Amino acid sequence: LDKADLVIVGAGFYGATIAERAANEHGLKVVIVERRGHIGGNAYSETDPDTGIEVHRYGPHIFHTPNDAVWSYLNRFTSFTDYTHRPFSVFRGQAYSLPINLATICQFFRRQLSPDEARALIAGQAAEMAGREPDNLEEKAISLIGRPLYEAFIRGYTKKQWQTDPRDLPASIISRLPVRYTFDNRYFSDPHQGMPLSGYTAIFDRMLDHENIHVLLDCDWFELRDSIPRAVPTVYTGPIDAYFGFSEGRLGWRTCDFSRSVVATGDYQGTAMMNYADEETAHTRIVEYRHFHPERDYPVDRSVIVHEYARSAGAGDEPYYPIDTLADKALYLRYRALADREPNVHFGGRLGTYRYLDMHQAIGAALKEWERLRTSEFAHGRKAP
Ligand code: FDA
């Protein structure tokens, strides 16, 4: 560690991107300290031992981006399949296409509607909120998509995700609810999307395959921090409140419980992701991993499915989605002010900046931060470019 030019806390996409750039572009000696027993952060994938099917341990990850620079950067380490995400949602025993599109609307209202007719129907239903400022999430959703669609697809699902009645949630949680007045049922409209051909973990293996990059697994940085010379710059991608010993309080997160099982069929649900909108169904969705890679030769008599359950995160849980209430925002700003005064430490990634980031955003932010680092203290410090 004392020979390192740069220490990176966390081997997720943010940390791995900075490490790769620092070693390949700048010849820096990089040590990555990772608390878990594997690289990849939350994008880590592994092979299920019973079926050979690739499973994403921390929830399903589908790559998509509008950003050409991020797309071409990542294509140095993997090629992508043409997988296009088309999830479904079950409401009262019926499966509907998501996000809400013309097929969903026609099926739900049991008639054929043109785009204009569907738009007029939904506008009429949303008009119940006309002239009133929405007071809570329920009213906001009704003002956007009308009561019938809200009650079918948003109310129960949101209640399960937040464990709170949508009438008690702030309207600010949603600014828009995507409704497509076409039969386009692609979940992401980004020009670049797909699944990494050899899986997610293989991307990280390639990114970190450099003689100057050394990864310490099963290693909590807090246990090492006092032995690292203070002159060595650190990129910290762990939780920002943990860095400061929760001195200002704990930031709120939601977490997920994943229950994995192998089922005795080659196809359990006919698609990768089935949401469950009913409040009475405890799980929020079932993910069947084989469908992310239809090009692979997976067994025809077995499949892996994962039930997902959402809840708020306690102290020992994996933090997944920032709750981001007004109190959280204020708390984060206090930590941010402390972080700005911390010499030689750069906070990044989803945990370090208390933000939900898609993978392409984490990579994009890391590439940008690397540009800034490269041209700032590194240029004047231990190693000039
Ligand atoms: P990430 O969490 O990946 O890495 C941080 C690393 O730091 C972790 O490995 C952690 O163990 C380590 N660490 C923390 N504290 C430490 C310490 N003290 N010492 C050592 N190591 C420490 N995105 C997308 O584009 N498409 C998708 O479909 C999905 N799907 C999805 C599903 C679910 C359930 C979630 C929660 C998230 C997604 N995402 C996603 C988002 C994606 O997971 C996210 O963009 C990346 O994980 C961000 O990478 P980071 O490097 O910022 O964090």
Whether pLDDT at 196 is above 90: yes
Average pLDDT over residues 255-284: 97
Half-sphere exposure of 9 (CA within 13 A, CB side): 26
- Alpha-carbon distance of 80 to 60, in angstroms, equals 16
Average pLDDT over residues 273-282: 97
Tell me, what amino acid is at 371?
A: E
Ordered structural domains, the chain, with CATH: 6-82+193-250+323-380 (3.40.50.720), 99-173 (no CATH)
In the structure, what pLDDT confidence band is assigned to residue 375 with cuts at 50, 70 and 90? Answer: confident
The three-class DSSP label of residue 56 is strand
Helix (H) or strand (E) holding 191: none
CB-based burial of residue 242 (10 Å sphere; 0-12 exposed, 13-18 middle, 19+ buried)? Answer: middle
Let me know if 358 is a catalytic residue: yes
Is residue 289 lining ligand 1, measured as CB closer than 6 Å?
Answer: no
Of residues 96 and 231, more confidence is placed in 96
Of residues 95 and 2, more confidence is placed in 95
CB 359 within 8 A of CB 8: no
- Alpha-carbon distance of 281 to 93, in angstroms, equals 11
Nearest to 251 by CA among 351, 359, 358: 351
Summarize pLDDT for 54-70 with one digit per residue, the tens. 999 999 999 999 999 99
Å from CA of 325 to ligand 1 middle: 21
Average pLDDT over residues 212-224: 97
Nearest to 218 by CA among 42, 36, 10: 36
Average pLDDT over residues 103-109: 98
State the CB neighbour count (10 A cutoff) for residue 163: 10
Å from CA of 318 to ligand 1 middle: 10
Q: ipTM higher than 0.95?
A: yes
- Which atom, in ligand 1's list, is nearest to the CA of 42? 3
Would you state the structure tokens that stand for residue 221, as one six-digit string? 């940085």
Among 38, 39, 42, 346, the mutation site with the greatest number of ligand 1 atoms within 8 A of its Cβ is 42
CB-based burial of residue 80 (10 Å sphere; 0-12 exposed, 13-18 middle, 19+ buried)? Answer: middle
Half-sphere exposure of 367 (CA within 13 A, CB side): 14
- Which atom, in ligand 1's list, is nearest to the CA of 308? 34
Å from CA of 131 to ligand 1 middle: 41
